[in-house]
């Protein structure tokens, strides 16, 4: 996932390009505005994913189960938690 920062003027001028990049390539666009009142454009799929994660983490049992699972991953020599870069490389190799 790539993040692009653009001015309001450029965003208006090339809206379709930025909307296509967000929708087709899961990119994020930050539209810089005066007084640090920036706007972020993400895909609906990404937005829904964030909403679902927030909903699930509001439940104490779900949150504790996730924290427990993550701690188990960290305690095993066999497991390796991927960085975002490693995940991207792995995903790109699977598609080739």
Query: Residue 41: enclosing H or E segment and its boundaries?
Result: strand 39-41
- In the CATH hierarchy, which top-level class contains the domain 1-45? alpha beta
Q: State pTM to two decimals.
A: 0.63
Q: How far apart are the first and last CA of the chain?
A: 17
What tens digit of pLDDT does each residue of 17-74 get? 999 999 999 999 999 999 999 999 999 999 999 999 888 888 888 888 888 887 877 6
pLDDT value of residue 78: 67
Q: What share of the chain is helix, strand, coil (3-state, %, to 5)?
A: 65, 15, 20
In angstroms, the CA 66 to CA 24 distance is: 30
For the chain, domain boundaries = 1-45, 59-95
């Amino acid at each position: 996932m790539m993040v692009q920062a653009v001015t309001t003027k450029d965003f208006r001028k090339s809206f379709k390009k930025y909307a296509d990049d967000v929708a087709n390539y899961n990119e994020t666009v930050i539209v810089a505005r005066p007084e640090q009142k920036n706007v972020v454009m993400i895909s609906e799929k990404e937005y829904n994913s964030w909403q679902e994660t927030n909903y699930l983490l509001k439940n104490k049992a779900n949150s504790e189960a996730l924290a427990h699972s993550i701690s188990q991953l960290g305690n095993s020599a066999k497991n390796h938690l991927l960085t975002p870069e490693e995940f991207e490389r792995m995903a790109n190799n699977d598609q080739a």
